Structure 1
Amino acid sequence: MQYKKYKIGAMARLLGMSTEGLRYYEESGIITPKKQEDSKYRYYDVWDIHILVRARAYRRLGFSLQDVYAIINSQEDIDISQLLTEREKEIQAKIVYNINLLRRSRQIRAMYQDAQSMINQYRLEDCPGVYRINTQNKSNLISDPAVRLCAREWIEMVPFVFSSGLFPREEIEKGGEHYNLGFGIEEEYASYLKVAENEYVKYHPARLCVYTVLPSSSDVALTTARLSGALEYMQRHNLKLIDNAFSMLINFHKQADTYRNLHRVWLPVEY
């Protein structure tokens, strides 16, 4: 049976594709347009349309081009149901990831909006439970290979991971300058990300804290001494510092040659 032939431009318009997209499938061996002997043109027919629709369906389901080629050009029946079962597991994992990603995006937006009214202001609130790892003593990276390996693994988990400072209680109380920098993950994502406390990862539980938002820059770092305003707030409200403070970096940008940051800070207290 003779089928009507279509040039590449007409075929592309019919399918809503670019000519480059058609060539992409052709070069992958998924479609094989006929070449007319007396011209340089390639011609497609209705079978190519149906092959492309099926190929694009498989691609939308997440199959690689190699998989699509194997399915369409197989000389034997392939168990599509088994292939789809495997793909469904991957799709489900992506759904779970995207649900968590959406929740995290909403949290970051809410944090940023709240932070604008809390710069150098103080209030009592429960901090989130947080897992932390220290990667720096002040500006010096910790050289322990295990710490660096853990840090690399955590960086792969952004945006659930945030930059975080740790301010030792004794340094705060004596007005010292020592602090640590590293990364944190909120407790609600720990199970999903398979994060647990170990030799390097420390857990900071949710509890009553003095909360504030403090700016810093490459010229004026967020050091332990910068928490003096929180200590004054504690004195006025008869509160006692009971543990190390920690921070969460929520904004970072470069202005001219200066880096400017915004930090949420929690100091654990009791009456």
Structure 2
Amino acid sequence: MNDKYKIGTISKLLGIPIQTLHYYEKCGFVTPLKDQNSNYRYYDVWDVNYLLDSKQLRSFDFSNAEIEQIINNDCVVEIQRKFDKQEKKLLDLIYHYQAVLDTLNAEKKRLSTFHQQIGKFTEKNNPQLYFNRYRLNNSYRISEDRNEIPQIDNWLSHMPFVTATFKITQESLNKKEPQAIDYWWGFSISTKKAKELNIPLQGAEYISSQKCIYTVFSAHSQNTFVPSLYKQVFQPLWAAGHEISDTPIGRLIVRAHEQNQYTRYFEIWVPVLY
């Protein structure tokens, strides 16, 4: 006759909280003997084997429903099928988090080097992007009837691969006055990553790569973006005799608190005639 053990003993043996053992019973992982008078639960070595199997399957990140099926119903072929499916799921997760890690490393590199580009103007091609706009200046009412607010959740779900991006309307630069400048805010993603993620591109604008002048500028509190952009980027370019030939595009690098003030840093690519 097999020895019987109270739930507290099994909890101590396996390091599983009593509440979790009750939950495992509810999930169907184990069916301990229940005393009808005291309502105490008693486990034997057979029950412990089921609990050990469930912990092993949990370590492979199987769901509770899958664990219950494997323990109580599945044949070897079906277990193999579930393992194959779980292998693909884990490989997809590894691929995703490797891509997240690569993006994080790229952001770290950008954070460590952007100060070198402040006030410096260099020739550089802008990245090839898809741009999804959602705000004109300070208004989200960008539809023709001015009542509908854009939906951006289908892009936000793809962070960190989509990044905050702005675009200056070229026609608003004709007067060369800061108060005339109009700008769009939105999100952008590389064309390669958009294809990998199968991101919805309806309403998104394709931005081709072209030769630009690249620089980094800073702004501080609200309503300092355009004056800072005008003073630090456009004025120096015009003063040097450059003619802006297409729509400038840029991205937020970081928001931070420096020298007791809120500071935002942006990178921008400005197409000019050569």
Q: Same fold (TM over 0.5)?
A: yes
Distance 1:14 1:77 in 2: 29
Instruction: Tell me the equivalent position of 1:170.
Output: 171
Q: Which runs of 5+ in 1 are unaligned?
A: none
Instruction: Tell me the equivalent position of 1:213.
Output: 216
Distance 1:12 1:67 in 2: 23
1:269 is displaced (CA, Å) by: 3.2
Q: How does 1:120-269 map to 2 (within 5 A)?
A: 120-141=119-140, 142-143=142-143, 148-149=150-151, 151-173=152-174, 174-175=176-177, 176-195=180-199, 200-223=203-226, 226-234=229-237, 239-252=242-255, 260-269=263-272
Which residue identity is paired with 1:28?
A: C
Which residue identity is paired with 2:62?
A: F
Q: 3-state SS of the aligned residue for 2:246?
A: coil
Which residue identity is paired with 1:24?
A: Y
Q: Conserved in 2, the CA contact under 8 Å of 1:208 and 1:270?
A: no
Distance 1:76 1:130 in 2: 49
Q: Conserved in 2, the CA contact under 8 Å of 1:178 and 1:224?
A: no
What is the root-mean-square deviation in Å for CA atoms of aligned residues? 3.1
Distance 1:164 1:221 in 2: 17
1:260 is displaced (CA, Å) by: 4.9
- TM-score normalised by length of structure 1: 0.82
Instruction: Tell me the equivalent position of 1:60.
Output: 59
Residues 75/263 of structure 1: CA separation in 2 closer, same or farther (3 Å cut): closer
> Which deviates the most, 32-41 or 153-162?
32-41
Which residue identity is paired with 2:160?
A: P
Q: Which runs of 5+ in 2 are unaligned?
A: none
Distance 1:58 1:99 in 2: 24
Q: Conserved in 1, the CA contact under 8 Å of 2:217 and 2:232?
A: no
Which residue identity is paired with 1:180?
A: W
Distance 1:163 1:220 in 2: 17
Q: Conserved in 2, the CA contact under 8 Å of 1:122 and 1:233?
A: no
Q: How many residues align?
A: 266
Distance 1:30 1:77 in 2: 18
Residues 208/186 of structure 1: CA separation in 2 closer, same or farther (3 Å cut): same
1:119-174 CA distances to partner (integer Å, 9 max, x unpaired)?
4443333332221011111111123799834x221111111111211102232342
Instruction: Tell me the equivalent position of 1:96.
Output: 95
- TM-score normalised by length of structure 2: 0.81
1:259 is displaced (CA, Å) by: 6.7
Q: State the percentage of identical aligned residues.
A: 26
Residues 83/243 of structure 1: CA separation in 2 closer, same or farther (3 Å cut): same
Q: How does 1:34-53 map to 2 (within 5 A)?
A: 34-36=33-35, 39=38, 41-53=40-52
Which residue identity is paired with 2:193?
A: Y
Distance 2:20 2:42 in 1: 15
Residues 118/7 of structure 1: CA separation in 2 closer, same or farther (3 Å cut): farther
